[in-house]
Structures are given as C-alpha cells and as structure tokens.
Structure 1
Amino acid sequence: MLASREVLHEEEIMAFNKDQSAKIVAIRKKRLERENAKHIMRERLKTTLITVVLLAVFSSMFAVLIYKNSLVNEKKYEIFTMKTEIKSLNTQIEELQTAVENSTDIKTVEKMAKEQLNMQYPTSNQYVYIDATAMFAVSETTLVALAERDNPKAVELIQKESKMNDMIAALFRTN
C-alpha cells in the first residue's frame, strides 16, 4: 500500500507538475499575448502619431503657401491700382499742360487783358521817347513823383543808381 501510495503520489505529483506546467505555459502565453498586444498598440500609436504629425506639417506648409500666394496677389492688385492711378494722373497732367499752353497763347492773353483787366493798347500821347545817348540825372522831383505813386522800391533803386553815378563821376574827376 505504501508502494501504491507512492506511485499514486508520484503520479499525482507528475499530474500536478503537468498541470502546473500547463498553467505556467498558459500564463506565459497570456503574458506574451499581452506584450504582443502592447507592442502592436505602440506600433499603431507610433504610426498614427507619425501620420498626424506629417499631416499637420503638410497642412501647415500648404497654409503658408496659400498665405504667401494671397500676399503676392494683394501686392499685384496694389501695383495694378497704382498703375491705373499713374495713368489717370498722367492724363490730368496732359490736360493741364494743354490748358496752360492754350492760356499762354498770345491771343488768349490779349483777350484776357482786354476783357478782365480792362487794358488797352497805348495811344500816341502815352508814348515817351528817351534819348539813349544822353546822360540823365534823377532829380528830387522825379523821386517825389515816384514816392507819390507808392513805389518805394523804385525810389531806392534810383537813389542807389544816383549814388553809384556820383561815385563813378568822382573817380574820373581830375582835381
């Protein structure tokens, strides 16, 4: 009985060991499956993360490209607007130059002088003839007459010329 108990005991131990080995193998398989599942999840996460990052990078590059293109289009529009304004201003300049040329025409000036300023051609009694060969001296009566006409600059000019004539005469006098 002891021997049968020992054999039974050994068979139990062997069955127990087999059972334990099977449990250990099952536990190891489960752990290996969990580790494989974790590894697969990590790889999927890495792939997803890389995809998202690449998508974000390409999206931002595309957005920057669109933004730069819009800036270029804005500048082109500004250039077009400025060119249009330049053409308009050049047209105005040409019109004004034509108006100036027309208004400085001798007939136009004569017409304006007669109509707006009430000017007329001088009559024969308004002409004054001066002998260019004679030396003229300015008298006090001429200065007074000019001063009466409210022309102080002319008076100053005549006084300066008179002083200059006196100085030149003094240089050539022989004493």
Structure 2
Amino acid sequence: MKKNYKIHNLNEYKNKKKNNYKKRNKKKIGAKCILLIATFSVIILNLCGYSKISEMKYDIYYLQKDLRKKEIVLEELKAKETEKTSIKEIELKAKELLNMDYPKDGQIKYIDVDN
C-alpha cells in the first residue's frame, strides 16, 4: 500500500494493521529460521573439521608406528652388515672355509722402490 493512503473506515484500518502484523511475524520467523540454519551449518562444519583432524591424527599415529618398525628392521640389517664385513669375521671365514693362513717369514718378499 502507498504511504499517503488514507483510511476511510475502521474495518479497513484493522485489516491493514492485521496484515502488517502477519508480515512482521513472517519476517521474524524467517529470520529465526535463517539464523537456526546458519548455526546448524556452522556446527556441522566444525564436526566435519574435527572428524577430519582426528582421522589425520589416527593416520599419523599408525604411520609413525610403521616407521619405527622399519627403522628397527633397518638397524638390524645394518648390524648384520657390519658383522659380515668386520675384519675378525672375514679372517675367521678365510681360515675355516678357505683354509687360508698368515704367510710365514720365508714366504714374504719385500720390494725396494727407488724414487
């Protein structure tokens, strides 16, 4: 309705006020619904974020656990490698498996190198 609209009788005035009240009431309900929907959407987004974070923490924990197991295996392999390449182990294998022995004094020949 126009602003300069003049009301001529009482029933018309009551209908106009009643309609304005209904419009205001609908606007209030609409605003409350929008606020409620916005609140629930923020809550749902927070829950999704926290679930994603907890899932990533779970993955990190098990990846660290797996990494620690692999580090232990790596340390064991390095220990076996150093055991096989140690001088005492090589000497023992040469004596037992290949029947090698240190050379005697008569078997050693020295070479003179003149510069």
Pairing 1:56–2:37 present: yes
In structure 2, give the amino acid aligned to 1:67: C
Rg larger for: 1
In structure 1, give the amino acid aligned to 2:10: K
Q: CA deviation at 1:54?
A: 0.3
How many angstroms apart in 1 are the aligned matches of 2:90 and 2:111?
31
Residues 31/112 of structure 1: CA separation in 2 closer, same or farther (3 Å cut): farther
- One of 73, 77, 96 as aligned partner of 1:92: 73
Pairing 1:104–2:98 present: no
Aligned length in residues: 107
Residues 39-94 of structure 1, C-alpha deviation per residue, up to 9 Å, x if partnerless? 12111111111111101110111122112212211221232122112211221122
Looking at both structures, which has the greater relative contact order when contacts are Cα pairs under 8 Å and sequence separation is at least 6?
Answer: 1
How many angstroms apart in 2 are the aligned matches of 1:112 and 1:30?
118
Match of 1:73 in 2: 54
- TM-score scaled by structure 2? 0.71
- TM-score scaled by structure 1? 0.50
- One of 100, 107, 110 as aligned partner of 1:127: 107
Structure 1: runs of 5 or more not aligned? 1-26, 136-164, 166-175
Structure 2: runs of 5 or more not aligned? 1-7
Q: Structure 1 vs Structure 2: percent identity of aligned residues?
A: 17
